[in-house]
């Protein structure tokens, strides 16, 4: 019985290590065009008129910068996590190629998303940040990009990245 348990633990550990290596390689490949040191400026006006300045905000606490789209299939899994995290950390989302601001606002209301969002109708911010795939999440702290993740992430994965960079 002990041998079976040991073999299962060994096998599961191997698969887990393989999954970590593969997802890290995919993240690295997808984020080759992303600035990895200083975060590009991201200054805008929020939906209620407040000034949004990611770099300034990041000197107080890590900021999640979330690039997504209303049509993105993977975003359907990640966006609820981002919305949940906004209760604990500042989140600035950028929706790209998702239509007019009214359309994006209606989409967010229909899904009850409460995070701050900037509608990047013509994907100019996407280009500035080197985004080639959605969703892409950045953790910005002290004006520096501390973490980049592309594709699906889990609540524990996002929280771990935030805690490591706090």
Say whether the peptide bond before residue 135 is cis (omega within 30 degrees of 0).
Answer: yes
pTM of the model: 0.82
Could you tell me the two tokens for 155? 């609540």
Query: Shortest CA distance to 65 belongs to which of 156, 130, 121, 20?
Result: 130
C-alpha 100/C-alpha 102 separation (Å) is 5
Query: Shortest CA distance to 140 belongs to which of 23, 34, 57?
Result: 57
Choose between 166 and 41: higher pLDDT: 41
C-alpha 158/C-alpha 142 separation (Å) is 18
Above 60 in pLDDT, residue 164? Answer: yes
pLDDT digits (tens, 9 = 90+) for 87-122: 999 999 999 999 999 999 999 999 999 999 999 999
* Alpha-carbon distance values, 165 to 70, 111, 120, 134, 161 (Å): 28, 29, 27, 22, 6
pLDDT at 143 (0 to 100): 93
DSSP letter, residue 133:
S
Distance of CA 72 to the CA centre of its chain: 13
Looking at the domain 34-164, which fold is it? Glutaredoxin (3.40.30)
C-alpha 109/C-alpha 142 separation (Å) is 32
Q: Where are the domains of the chain?
A: 1-30, 34-164
Q: pLDDT band for position 1 (50/70/90)?
A: confident
Q: Give percent of the chain with pLDDT exceeding 70.
A: 89
- List residues bridging with 119 in a β-sheet: 95
- 19's CB contacts (< 8 A; 6+ apart) are none
C-alpha 79/C-alpha 50 separation (Å) is 22
pLDDT digits (tens, 9 = 90+) for 49-66: 889 999 999 999 999 999
């Amino acid at each position: 019985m002990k041998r079976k348990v040991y073999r299962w633990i060994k096998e599961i550990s191997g698969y887990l290590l393989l999954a970590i290596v593969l997802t890290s390689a995919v993240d690295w490949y997808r984020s080759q065009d992303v600035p990895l040191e200083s975060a590009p400026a991201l200054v805008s006006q929020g939906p209620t008129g407040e000034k949004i300045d990611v770099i300034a905000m990041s000197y107080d606490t890590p900021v999640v910068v979330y690039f997504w789209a209303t049509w993105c299939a993977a975003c359907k899994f990640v966006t609820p996590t981002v919305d949940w995290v906004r209760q604990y950390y500042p989140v600035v989302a950028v929706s790209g190629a998702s239509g007019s601001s009214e359309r994006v606002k209606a989409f967010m209301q229909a899904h009850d998303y409460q995070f701050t969002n900037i509608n990047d109708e013509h994907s100019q911010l996407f280009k500035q940040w080197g985004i080639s795939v959605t969703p892409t999440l950045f953790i910005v702290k002290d004006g520096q990009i501390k973490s980049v993740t592309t594709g699906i992430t889990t609540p524990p994965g996002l929280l771990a990245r935030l805690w490591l960079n706090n």
